[in-house]
Structure 1
């Protein structure tokens, strides 16, 4: 029968990571994965979900897996025939980074206490003295600094992780530059964002004793529908999740995955570069086709011009032949009675016939002159 799609697993994946990330595991494009979810009756996050989530705004939770009512054959995963072809080679720019980050001597270590703070981390720490409060009630750094949104209990550790990561980034030749909203990391010339984020549990709002007393006294105000409980777990997200992320888990902490995070950042940068390079090649191919068509059109125009000249010469030759035939008939009609004036007219007319005839050399004529009046 073959392997079947695990609908519950796919539901969890598409609500945990963007389609572009999940699609690679299934060997599909993001559009192909979206169509697969539709066929398998798996709901997906609405448009703008990941941007709102990255901004710390309230987003819907993953729904319950609905029952499947489609054809059983749709659940079957396609089996790819075995091939002897070698796997797609890894881009050399990425392969070098993977090899570098795998070496034990290049392992990024988070040292506590921190001996020297990176200026960008210092600026982020200063902005958290008067933070912006996000939709979950957690403090968040202000615009222009490093993107950090964690609870006060997780802040010290987050700053230490950020400090070790930024120092490692610069040691590898990448740079930190101010972006439109946040500090960005330029990897291979591509600007990426890095966000330090603490997930939360969304719970029903529980009013305080004061709020309950005010409600009993008829002075109740507005209560939010939800309250958010920090998980105490850290995530570092690359480019709003489009470049992947590393998260605390029971097996590994974020501190143990910083080298992998560097690989994720370079992977995202190489993907963007490859796309731009592919677009440049396609644009060059389109331009080559356009230039070929332009040259073809120019050749056609030249052919039309040559044909028009040829037709004009043939017409002039026909006019000259007709004129000579008329002059011969006229001279024969006059016979011996041609006077000097008529002889002069015949000579002039034969000269004009020669001027018309492209096959007969002739002298210049007044008709060759351009005598148009000036405007």
Structure 2
């Protein structure tokens, strides 16, 4: 139902400087606010307010076109398909389905549902069929016969058109054009409060005791209204009718033809919704991949910069310590005991300097572009949050 229109920044620049933004947005199929945001994001300078009201000779000169080359994409509604969907919704073919007043030769699904409904317990006014793999219906005991007639007529008419019913413990689906549409019937139940019985009068001399028996009594009761609703629970791309409820002048039995006409439209809209969701997911995944690659490239640049700074600081410290070692040698007395002590200290100090100097093992350790062993100062933000703080040891 949606299509993508793409423009280069230079093409869009020419359009916004030859056509007013409101008219151009209408031609593309987007809002003027969305078009303005896309232009600002691409670095396109828009004409100032009142630009088109001025004579052409008094209009300011155009700015320079943007230097970006990335395509600017707009997701717009496909007008032809939308008009086709409107025609399908506005001009349905009339279809009359006759519902008998008596259940004769019920469908196997209906026969199984009737057997489970007669044995089911009543929970909050409705039959509890959650443990049975039968048709999805939440109705009272008074509406069993009517619900069976509706289901029987709907299933038989659907099978004439090639639709199949699939029943599981959790839901009932009608399969139309290889699409599973969840369908059910529910009844509107009226809840009322049950008044508490008056306390028993006490006999003369009888001590009062609390009556805990009233705590186990039900506070509310449920009354059948006979108002049924047939629902098709699906996610569609367009606004399609999914619920049919009893009216004062027209009940569901007289509108089963509308339900049968709506089923293929709902299946088509479900497919369009899935395709639109897949397109959106692919676009989102692509955007996330681009963001992740940009983040990884920026993080790699920061790590290489940090590695350069770390190596520079280590080399500077090594040179300073080496100079300090030489100054210590020059300042040490020439007696035998001092020279022996100096020799041991110089041997240890130069060994530590070799650990500190990054150029001891050659320049390849410094010039490689790998960032796997880079130590980062402080706290660095990752793509999905913050990682822990790593302390830099300058003797490493």
> TM-score w.r.t. structure 1 length?
0.45
Higher strand share: 2
